[in-house]
Amino acid sequence: MALVLIRQDGKIDLWKNALLKANPDLPTYSYLEEHPKEDITMALIWKHPEGSLSIYPNLKCIASAGAGVDYIFEDETIPNAIPITRLVDPYLAGDMSEHVLASIFAELKNFNTYKVQQTQAVWKPKNYRRITDVTISIMGLGELGALTAKDLVQSGFKVQGWSRSKKSIAGVTTFSGNNDLNKFLRTSDFLVCLLPLTPETNGILNTVLFEQLPKGAYIINVARGGHLVDNDLLAQLDNGHLSGACLDVYHQEPLAVTHPFWKQPKIIMTPHYASVSDTKSVIPQILENYKNLQNGKELMNVVSRKKGY
């Protein structure tokens, strides 16, 4: 049995060293080095090159080194019967919640407007809103969405959440399914997307949805670029129906320098860094799953191939 690391973001050595520090006996390889393909039983991957998993005849687990798995399902060459696992981690959820809260507070207190005014040396006070003035709506009440919702409730916000199945979270008004979507949207001052990207949620942030939000609503997309129809957002910002957006994720990453988002002052952009897997925190669950695989035990955090998340 052995583990192969596959990722293209320059972090292979970081992950390899962290794995070996936690278990010096673990046979661990970078996919870029010479390694025995038939020994590999677990692939720990992040945005792998398409087709790179099909060369391992004894692969038994595809482990995403992130919470999202949409990039795995995009690769049509991934072997069918092999379980896919993902990360569920308190820091990943906590960091996301902090990022969303920061985006909301920056907008409530007009930091985004003042940043633009600063570049023009403009002194122009603008009325701010209070926590009690706004309703925050979270699409997706999973590991990240549920914690974010709870933290927002604790900060005093009115909070709503929407998910596929009905949820019960103290202080949060919950909605579920497509029939509830309009009711959920029409009272949303801030709309936060924390859905997984699946065929059902692809392009969900579009004109039809935006038009169901109250005038002046603000969009925060921290899930995946594929959820958003870019031109629909730009049009709704131009016509003033939406007041602004804070985006962390994009169709293409890094975003092309020619993309119109860069020049739209109502958009705040961060480079897909809302919440990042912390090796120290997540490696124990990867090693535990490796051991589970070795002992024929059930794996943790297995993704549903049927649901796509």
By annotation, the residues acting in catalysis are 224, 272
Q: Is 67 left (phi over 0), alpha (psi -120 to 50) or beta?
A: alpha
Report the site for ligand OXD in 29-68 (rule: CB under 6 A).
Answer: 66-68
For residues 20 and 17, give the distance between their C-alpha atoms in angstroms, rounded to a whole number: 5
Least Å distance, CB 123 to ligand NDP, is 35
**CA angle (118 as vertex; 115, 120 as ends), nearest 5:** 125
Phi, psi dihedrals of residue 131, rounded to the nearest 5°: -50, -40
Q: Does 209 bind ligand NDP (CB under 6 A)?
A: no
Q: Which of 100, 233, 274, 293 is in the footprint of ligand NDP by CB under 6 A?
A: 274
108 binds, among ligand NDP, ligand OXD, none (CB under 5 to 8 A by kind): none
For residues 192 and 160, give the distance between their C-alpha atoms in angstroms, rounded to a whole number: 10
Report the site for ligand NDP in 158-197 (rule: CB under 6 A).
Answer: 162-165, 194-197
CB-based closest residue to ligand NDP: 142
Least Å distance, CB 84 to ligand NDP, is 12
Report the site for ligand NDP in 126-155 (rule: CB under 6 A).
Answer: 140-145
Q: 217 has which bridge partners? A: 242
Report the site for ligand NDP in 68-127 (rule: CB under 6 A).
Answer: 68, 92, 96
Q: Which two tokens stand for residue 39?
A: 């020994």
* Under 8 Å between Cβ of 119 and 140: no
Q: b vs e for 12-43, b when ≥16 Cβ sit within 10 Å of the residue's Cβ?
A: beebbebbeeebeebebbebeeebeeeebbbb
Q: Which two tokens stand for residue 106?
A: 């920056």
Nearer to ligand NDP, 99 or 158 (CB): 99
Least Å distance, CB 92 to ligand NDP, is 6
- Count of C-beta atoms within a 10 Å radius of residue 129: 12
How far apart, in Å, are the Cα atoms of 21 and each of 46, 86, 91, 241, 287? 20, 21, 20, 52, 12
Nearer to ligand NDP, 90 or 240 (CB): 90
Q: What share of the chain is helix, strand, coil (3-state, %, to 5)?
A: 35, 20, 45
Least Å distance, CB 70 to ligand NDP, is 6
* Under 8 Å between Cβ of 126 and 103: no
194 binds, among ligand NDP, ligand OXD, none (CB under 5 to 8 A by kind): ligand NDP
Nearer to ligand OXD, 59 or 194 (CB): 194
3 binds, among ligand NDP, ligand OXD, none (CB under 5 to 8 A by kind): none
Q: Applying CB under 6 A, which residues contact ligand OXD? A: 66-68, 277
Q: Applying CB under 6 A, which residues contact ligand NDP? A: 66-68, 92, 96, 140-145, 162-165, 194-198, 200-201, 222-224, 248-249, 272, 274-275, 309
